[in-house]
């Protein structure tokens, strides 16, 4: 490595990775598990990840079985947010004066994004950012011979954009600016073929019940990026990290675009949408499980018979009779489901709290209960979804700026590799977001007619409707 890179990264590599594994990885893993709620086995719902947040009285124990209900109210809120953000394709508009030049740049950028997944790439990045609080986009340029310089669009497949979640990427920040990267550490893979544990380690592991101590040594392969080159290293038992390869970084900068989900002042990571929902999700699962246990105990009527011979051997049902000479004999009925208004109100309050915390209500996901007013008007829909739309607009600020930096990085790489020579002034791109609410064409036409009646120039109104100069030209031809 160059002296600068060696000074800034290599001495602190082990410390950076250890701090990431001990501090960042557990927190981010918990966020992901609450979002995905994976089931470790098919034996029952109690194996779901969110079941770990239930109180001890609901945890499985020897000789005790409890009803456990897990309702993942986090995942659908995350998906709804992503659908409103990237449910429709965004438009890239290069800010260059020459229309032909701008069209070529737009086609090239669109081709690079499309070969990397297109809308799926943006949705994946939005999911990772929403769950973890931020997402890093890494740009790689694959080898494989010279580029086809005749048509830059054909070379788009050599540009690879990889979304990196917070569990794999470790930023190396500048000491004087948390927004500037000196380097980036990427945990590439995990290997388990680096030797066997000793006999003493295996015996200690069996005594403690620690399966990890009895397995093979786990090592990690990492890539260290800086402005000059990328270095591949592998962890060796008791020896730290050993260099196994390196390559030149022709871009002259760390090829990472960092996107905060929601801004967090003076921090590299942004705000996660999942983290504030975790305690509410635990409370919801607890109350749903308590209600399930109550229903299990009270859904069926039970009978207590006193002084009746062979009471347990006779079925309970219509036209069944018991006869006894015991004047103190009796049959007492108990059980049966009973209404619990406070329980239902508490569960409803928890769901309302999750709606306010996330900004996503069930109406946004298509769940409409009762009367919510006349939603045929576009303004009425916006009023109902005001919280969600405000959050989407706020997220579009950070993700839009991230997309602009990604386009700038792609064009910088295209210039370095000679695929599409360009200047820094040509790398400015405007992001045009679609309206998340479907437009009512009738209302748009009526509003346009009202503007014309008020004296607004006809061409200005046509431009607002999206018809532009073409419509004006056709209109003039009709008049001629």
Query: pLDDT tens digit string along 120-149?
Result: 999 999 999 999 999 999 999 987 677 776
Using one digit for the tens of pLDDT, what is the confidence trace for 309-367?
777 777 777 767 777 888 888 888 776 666 678 888 999 899 889 988 888 888 777 66
Helix, coil or strand: residue 62: coil
Structural element, H or E, at residue 301: strand 301-306
Residues in the chain, how many? 480
Place of tokens 């998340």: 436
Query: How far is Cα 68 from Cα 56, in angstroms, rounded to an integer?
Result: 12
Residue 210 has pLDDT above 80, yes or no: no
Answer whether 0.85 is exceeded by the pTM.
Answer: no
- The confidence score (pLDDT) of residue 475 equals 42
- The confidence score (pLDDT) of residue 384 equals 72
Residue 82's pLDDT band (cuts 50, 70, 90): very high
Q: Do residues 399 and 129 touch, judged by C-beta distance below 8 A?
A: yes
Residue 474 has pLDDT above 50, yes or no: no
- The confidence score (pLDDT) of residue 49 equals 87
Query: How far is Cα 54 from Cα 279, in angstroms, rounded to an integer?
Result: 10
403 alpha-carbon distance from chain centroid = 17
Q: Find which of 53-67, 116-130, 352-366, 382-396 is predicted with most confidence, using mean pLDDT.
A: 116-130
Query: In terms of C-beta density within 10 A (0-12 exposed, 13-18 middle, 19 or more buried), how is residue 143 classed?
Result: exposed
Helix, coil or strand: residue 240: strand
Q: Do residues 249 and 227 touch, judged by C-beta distance below 8 A?
A: yes
Q: If we measure between CA atoms, which residue out of 419, 125, 384 comes closest to residue 251? A: 419
The more confident residue out of 162 and 311 is: 162
Residue 432 has pLDDT above 70, yes or no: yes
Residue 412 has pLDDT above 70, yes or no: yes
Helix, coil or strand: residue 339: coil
Please give the C-alpha separations between residue 472 and each of 128, 160, 164, 453, in angstroms, as whole numbers. Answer: 45, 42, 47, 18
Mean of per-residue pLDDT scores for the chain: 81
Query: How far is Cα 422 from Cα 358, in angstroms, rounded to an integer?
Result: 42
Minimum mean pLDDT among 88-102, 318-332, 458-472: which range? 458-472
Per-residue pLDDT, averaged over 452-471, amounts to 71
Q: What is the largest CA-CA distance in the chain?
A: 112
Q: Do residues 452 and 458 touch, judged by C-beta distance below 8 A?
A: yes
Query: How far is Cα 83 from Cα 79, in angstroms, rounded to an integer?
Result: 6
Per-residue pLDDT, averaged over 219-238, amounts to 86
- The confidence score (pLDDT) of residue 341 equals 83
Residue 184 has pLDDT above 60, yes or no: yes
Q: Give the pairing of strands 229-236 and 219-225.
A: antiparallel
Query: How far is Cα 77 from Cα 37, in angstroms, rounded to an integer?
Result: 14
Q: Give the pairing of strands 229-236 and 240-248.
A: antiparallel
Angle (deg, nearest 10), helices 119-132 and 75-86 = 140
DSSP letter for 22, please. I
The more confident residue out of 209 and 165 is: 165
Using one digit for the tens of pLDDT, what is the confidence trace for 241-262?
888 899 999 999 999 999 999 9
Using one digit for the tens of pLDDT, what is the confidence trace for 272-320?
999 999 999 999 999 998 888 887 777 667 778 888 877 777 777 776 7
Residue 1 has pLDDT above 50, yes or no: no
- φ, ψ at 428 (rounded to 5°): -85, 125
- The confidence score (pLDDT) of residue 472 equals 39
Residue 379 has pLDDT above 70, yes or no: no
- The confidence score (pLDDT) of residue 448 equals 80
Query: How far is Cα 153 from Cα 107, in angstroms, rounded to an integer?
Result: 7
Residue 397 has pLDDT above 80, yes or no: yes
Residue 3's pLDDT band (cuts 50, 70, 90): very low
Structural element, H or E, at residue 82: helix 75-86
Q: Spell out where 103-175 has E strands.
A: 134-141, 159-164, 169-174
Order of strands, edge to edge, in the sheet holding 134-141? 159-164, 134-141, 256-260
Q: Find which of 69-78, 82-91, 231-240, 399-408 is predicted with most confidence, using mean pLDDT.
A: 399-408
Residue 8 has pLDDT above 70, yes or no: no
Residue 41's pLDDT band (cuts 50, 70, 90): low
């Amino acid at each position: 490595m160059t002296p600068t890179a060696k000074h800034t990264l290599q001495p602190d590599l082990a410390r950076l990775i250890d701090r990431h594994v001990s501090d960042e990885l557990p927190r981010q893993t918990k966020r992901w598990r609450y979002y995905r709620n994976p089931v470790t086995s098919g034996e029952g719902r109690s194996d779901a990840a969110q079941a770990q947040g239930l109180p001890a009285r609901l945890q499985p124990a020897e000789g005790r079985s409890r009803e456990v209900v897990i309702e993942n109210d986090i995942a659908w809120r995350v998906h709804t947010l992503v659908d409103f953000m990237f449910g429709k394709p965004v438009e890239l508009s290069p800010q260059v004066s020459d229309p032909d030049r701008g069209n070529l740049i737009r086609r090239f950028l669109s081709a690079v994004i499309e070969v990397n997944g297109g809308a799926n790439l943006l949705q994946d990045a939005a999911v990772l950012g929403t769950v973890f609080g931020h997402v890093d986009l890494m740009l790689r340029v694959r080898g494989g011979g010279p580029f086809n310089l005749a048509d830059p669009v054909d070379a788009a497949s050599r540009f690879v954009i990889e979304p990196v979640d917070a569990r794999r990427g470790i930023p190396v920040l500048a000491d004087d600016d948390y927004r500037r990267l000196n380097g980036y550490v990427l945990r590439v893979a995990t290997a388990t073929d680096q030797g066997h544990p000793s006999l003493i380690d295996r015996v200690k592991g069996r005594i403690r019940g620690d399966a990890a101590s009895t397995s093979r040594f786990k090592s990690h392969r990492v890539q260290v990026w800086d402005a000059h080159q990328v270095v591949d290293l592998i962890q060796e038992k008791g020896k730290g990290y050993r260099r196994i390869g390196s390559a030149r970084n022709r871009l002259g900068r760390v090829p990472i675009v960092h996107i905060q989900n929601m801004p967090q002042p003076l921090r590299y990571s942004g705000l996660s949408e999942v983290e504030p929902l975790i305690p509410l999700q635990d409370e919801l699962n607890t109350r749903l499980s308590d209600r399930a246990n109550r229903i299990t105990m009270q859904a069926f009527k039970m009978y207590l018979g006193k002084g009746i011979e062979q009471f347990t051997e006779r079925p309970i049902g219509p036209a069944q009779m018991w006869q006894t000479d015991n004047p103190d004999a009796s049959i007492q009925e108990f059980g049966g489901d009973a209404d619990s208004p406070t329980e239902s109100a508490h569960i409803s309050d928890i769901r309302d709290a999750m709606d306010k915390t996330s900004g996503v209500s069930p109406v946004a996901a298509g769940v409409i209960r009762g009367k919510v007013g006349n939603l045929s008007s576009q303004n009425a829909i916006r009023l109902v979804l005001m919280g969600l739309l405000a959050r989407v607009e706020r997220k579009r600020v950070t993700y839009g700026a991230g997309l602009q930096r990604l386009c700038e990085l792609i064009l910088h790489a295209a210039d370095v590799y000679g695929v599409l020579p360009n200047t820094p002034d040509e790398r400015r791109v405007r992001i045009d977001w679609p309206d998340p609410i479907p437009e009512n064409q009738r209302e748009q036409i009526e509003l346009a007619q009202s503007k014309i009646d008020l004296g607004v120039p006809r061409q200005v109104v046509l431009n607002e409707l999206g018809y532009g100069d073409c419509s004006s030209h056709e209109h003039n031809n009709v008049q001629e």
